[in-house]
C-alpha cells in the first residue's frame, strides 16, 4: 500500500486541497501515520495511541486495505493506553486485532460525535449514527490483480 499512499499524498491530495479551498472554503490536511515515526517506535505504545487518537478525532477517515492484515499490538500496549481511549477500544477489542481494524472501529464508534462537531448543533440533531458513518468514513479495497 506504500505506492498507493505515496500517490495519494503526492498527487491527489495537493489537487484536492486546492479544489476544496477554492470551491468549498475548506482546508484539507492528510495525516499519514508513517510520517515522522522512527522504525523502532512504530510498534510502541506511543504509536498505537497516536494512531487511535487520530482515527477518533479526524473529520473524514479514509481506509485503504490491501492483502496484509497489519500490525497486531501486544496486550500490554492495549492495557497501557490512557483510560478514556482504552475504554473505547475495549468495547470492540478482541485479542489478535490489528491496528488497522482498531483504527477503523474507533472511527466508526466516534462518527456521530465528530459529525456533530463538524455540522454544528442545528444540523446535528437530524443526523443519525448510520448517516454520520456514511459522511465520515470511506473504505477502499485493493484488488490483488492490480498489483501484477
Please measure the distance between the N-terminal and C-terminal CA atoms of the chain and give it in whole angstroms: 13
Residue 34 CA to residue 41 CA, distance in Å, equals: 11
Angle between helices 99-109 and 45-57 (to 10 degrees): 30
14-32 pLDDT, tens digit per residue, is: 998 898 889 878 777 776 6
Check residue 88 and give its pLDDT.
92
Hey, CA dihedral for 136, 52, 99, 26, is it positive or negative?
positive
Residue 132 CA to residue 148 CA, distance in Å, equals: 36
Please report the beta strands in 66-146, taking only residues with DSSP state E, as ranges in sequence order: 137-141
pLDDT tens-digit profile, the chain (148 residues): 677 778 888 888 899 889 888 987 877 777 666 655 566 666 678 888 988 998 888 878 888 777 777 789 999 999 999 999 999 999 999 999 998 899 989 988 887 676 666 555 555 556 666 676 677 777 777 776 766 6
Amino acid at each position: 500500500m506504500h505506492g498507493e499512499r505515496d500517490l495519494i499524498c503526492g498527487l491527489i491530495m495537493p489537487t484536492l486541497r486546492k479544489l476544496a479551498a477554492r470551491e468549498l472554503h475548506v482546508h484539507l490536511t492528510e495525516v499519514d501515520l508513517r510520517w515522522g515515526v522512527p522504525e523502532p517506535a512504530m510498534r510502541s505504545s506511543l504509536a498505537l495511541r497516536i494512531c487511535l487518537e487520530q482515527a477518533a478525532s479526524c473529520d473524514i477517515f479514509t481506509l485503504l486495505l490491501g492483502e496484509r492484515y497489519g500490525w497486531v499490538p501486544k496486550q500490554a500496549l492495549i492495557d497501557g493506553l490512557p483510560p478514556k481511549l482504552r475504554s473505547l477500544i475495549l468495547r470492540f477489542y478482541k485479542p489478535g486485532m490489528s491496528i488497522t481494524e482498531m483504527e477503523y472501529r474507533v472511527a466508526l464508534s466516534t462518527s456521530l460525535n465528530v459529525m456533530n462537531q463538524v455540522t454544528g448543533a442545528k444540523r446535528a440533531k437530524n443526523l443519525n449514527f448510520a448517516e454520520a458513518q456514511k459522511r465520515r468514513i470511506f473504505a477502499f479495497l485493493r484488488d490483488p490483480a492490480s498489483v501484477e
